[in-house]
Structure 1
Amino acid sequence: MTRPAVPAATLTWLDGEATQVLPLPDRGLAFGDGLFETLLLCAGQPLYLDEHLQRLWRGLDALSLPDCLQAARAQVESAAAEISAQGWQWCALRLTVTRGGGPRGYTPPPAQAPRLLLQAARLSADHGSLPAPATLGEVDIRLAAQPALAGIKHLNRLEQVLAARQAAQLGVDEALLLDSRGELASVIAGNLFLRRGDQLLTPRLEDCGVAGTRRALVMGRWAAAAGLGVREARLTPQDLEAADEAFYSNSLQGLRPLAGFRGRRWREHEACAALFAQYRGELP
């Protein structure tokens, strides 16, 4: 790759080449026909790249997109080398995969050539420290039920955009998202966990929501290492209000405690801190 001549706070590549120009037509822009992953880089190293590519593979399969995993890995690693040369300690790297171009209309063309867009943004905050507790609000946006898309990180994020606008108007850091049944789904930018005693509970994702990489790590190894049980469950806002503790996970913050919900205030964040210690121990 050739290093782009752009300000040192951002870098962009399309199909492995530095660029600030996107070709048209593109089905990702026209229809949201594609997927994305947001990776955290520490000292030029992409964290949990395998986990991100596993989720990307599930998304490619769900959308019947051609396999581009090998190209995605190679381009992420090449971009990471350039980012390392910039001397950035922390970086957000977004990988966007679209179905590419094609004729007008919804029907995908018979011959498809996915496009891979990488966008890097330097981060100033220390992402190796547990973030301060986030304030949590309630919005009236509900996540629609669509099992065919549940779990994958597709490009259609208007529900999150509308919810984020309401959260900004409320002056809160995050907002609770419910599904069409009125049960807990997630927060805007992460997967929700609540604690009852030594058990963690997280919403099921069969109808909506994103299967986060950090969620998978909590469930796969961090909870057990911290002496906590963990399972999926159907949960209500009342369950959250009655919880001993609550937090959320995402790829940039790792884990972040929640300050409270409705009339409940959480002053102890022991489970979140214990899990974050597991996460921090895996950082380069």
Structure 2
Amino acid sequence: MQWFINYQQDLISPSDRGLAYGDGLFETIKVFPAGFEYLDEHIERLSRGLKKLAMPYSAAQLAQLRFFLHDSILPLVNKESVVKIIVTRGEGGRGYLPPKECQHTILIGLADAPDYQVQKNRGVALGISDVPVSENPFLAGMKHLNRLENVLAKQKLDDQHFEDVMLDGHGYVIECIQSNIFWFKAGVLYTPSLSQAGVQGVFRHHILSDQTRYHAEIGNFPLHTLKQADEIFITNSLMGIVPVISLLGSSMPIGVHTQQLQQLMQTKDVHDVY
């Protein structure tokens, strides 16, 4: 991965608060030679999270980020790729106490995109992680840098499973290790509430905001609800919609609703690259 730090090829300080405390956020964006996919939504989520962490980006800083992405990163893109943006609070402060004036560190990396076409066509198997998701309504939804739960869950992932479902301390389904999860039951679309835990994915947001075909029921669902589903699929910004064909060894078909939603979102993706 090629990295730029503070819009140049620089070094990051060992005392950066992102390294010391995970004091920051990140975004992972799919990019093509024609442009970035869902760029507005990624920057809006980044801006919203920075504001919530009391380290907001100004309008000028957001404009500078957009300009660098289009002027310096996009010309480097000659095939489907991934841009990762990390923003930390920078250096300073005493212990956990952050400095009054934030001097952000911004890291922007560019790499080839992983190919999920086989998984999108054939479907994947899911297991259940024994690593619980922590509940914190203040941090819920944000893509912050404190991802040790996901690191541990990924480390324990069985080779036969593409992803594991992660539950909270009450046994409610929250998400997968690196994706959001949806399912259909009797033609109705369901997805977990992320008000207490989990990451509000940009692709998840687009599915929920598209009312032309499906209205999703959002709530606290125990694992047995997921096991009774007719169709399951997982999503994130890089892989789109990936059908699930096995949950803990129990097989299921790739359903018609999942296929229709795949086609619908693929059509939308074409119009959301800029």
TM beyond 0.5? yes
TM-score (norm. length: structure 1): 0.88
User: Could you say what secondary structure the match of 1:52 adopts?
Assistant: helix
- Which of 211, 214, 219 pairs up with 1:228? 214
TM-score (norm. length: structure 2): 0.91
Check the 8 A contact 1:135/1:258 in 2, yes or no: yes
Aligned residues: 270
Name the aligned partner's letter for residue 214 of structure 2.
L
Aligned to 1:5: none
Name the aligned partner's letter for residue 233 of structure 2.
F
User: Could you say what secondary structure the match of 2:140 adopts?
Assistant: coil
* More displaced stretch, 153-162 vs 124-133: 124-133
Percent identity, aligned pairs only, is 30
1:85-124 superposed matches below 5 A: 85-123=75-113
Give the alignment's Cα RMSD to 1 decimal.
2.1
* More displaced stretch, 103-112 vs 34-43: 103-112
Check the 8 A contact 1:195/1:244 in 2, yes or no: yes
Aligned to 1:153: 143
Q: Distance in 1 between matches of 2:6 and 2:207?
A: 33
User: Could you say what secondary structure the match of 1:217 adopts?
Assistant: helix
- Which of 186, 210, 232 pairs up with 2:175? 186
Please, which runs of 5 or more residues in structure 1 have no aligned partner? 1-9
Quote the offset at 1:156 in angstroms: 0.2
Q: Cα deviation per residue 1:53-80 (whole Å; 9 max; x = unaligned)?
A: 2211221122111324643453355334
Q: Distance in 2 between matches of 1:126 and 1:81?
A: 28
Q: Cα deviation per residue 1:116-143 (whole Å; 9 max; x = unaligned)?
A: 1101111263769935312101121000
Please, which runs of 5 or more residues in structure 2 have no aligned partner? none
Shift in alpha-carbon separation, 1:69–1:94, aligned structure 2, 3 A: farther
1:55-134 superposed matches below 5 A: 55-68=45-58, 70-72=60-62, 74-123=64-113, 125=115, 130-134=120-124
2:232 aligned with 1:242: no
1:208-227 superposed matches below 5 A: 208-221=197-210, 224-225=211-212, 227=213
Check the 8 A contact 2:83/2:109 in 1, yes or no: yes
Check the 8 A contact 1:44/1:81 in 2, yes or no: no
Quote the offset at 1:230 in angstroms: 1.1
